[in-house]
A and B are shown apart, each in its own frame.
Chain A
């Protein structure tokens, strides 16, 4: 019986910029940052109130065993900002929107009320889009 999820992957083309974004701007914590002999960097972060879900920020072009076609597909998707990676929860969407906007985070627009809560859509600037949601 599977009961919980412990790791998810967000693909990025620049892990250093990803570390800056998720840690310095969103306030996530680095859980692990190690490098293997072949250059593969295992970088994971966790959200402040969710230390048991590691988000692996991986570069699909470096160290992973993808063939050139797959690598080109990932590169295209990330460069075009075509990946929607998930939904972040916040206790107050409008306050977090103001804070992240002040830190230079890109949003598709101001927070809007939806039937499930208040939501704004943000990008990590590395190809991934997220909803940031304050549930009702």
Chain B
């Protein structure tokens, strides 16, 4: 049965609520209230639309924010864990490794090395056909 436009709006409102408040201790009851739907209906509709349960989506959002923070901030892993809404450093580390493929500290080391390389050797990131175009640009300007 097709989903009515006003129901789409409710589900999207709840998704945007997760996007904004992922760092807070939110649960299914709280998210379903944002959508003005019962827990059961909200869970079923959200999962059917996004192919993820609300909890899976919330976890994915938190891991993604942690990934960005590890790459770009100098907070400790424990501080980042709390900042993105995880209560346990153990479950955070396990989930992060399962999702990203590296432990948080290892991921951070790789990203920081990449940032240094980007500053010192930007050419190493750019396919050669684009480098050639730039070189042509420089020689034309000289």
Contact = CB atoms under 8 A, between A and B. Distances in A.
Interface residues of A, number: 23
A95 B8 contact: yes
A91 interface: yes
B122 A92 contact: no
Contacts of A67: 140
A111 B12 CA distance: 15
Nearest to A95: B49
Contacts of A66: 133, 137
Contact of A34 (B9, B49, B126, B133): B126
Interface string A50-78: 00000010100001111100000000000
Contacts of B140: 65, 67
Interface in B107-138: 118-119, 122-123, 125-127, 130, 133-138
Nearest to B137: A65
B5 A42 contact: no
Interface string A64-102: 111100000000000000000000000110110011001
A32 B125 contact: yes
Interface of A: 7, 32-36, 38, 40, 42, 56, 58, 63-67, 91-92, 94-95, 98-99, 102
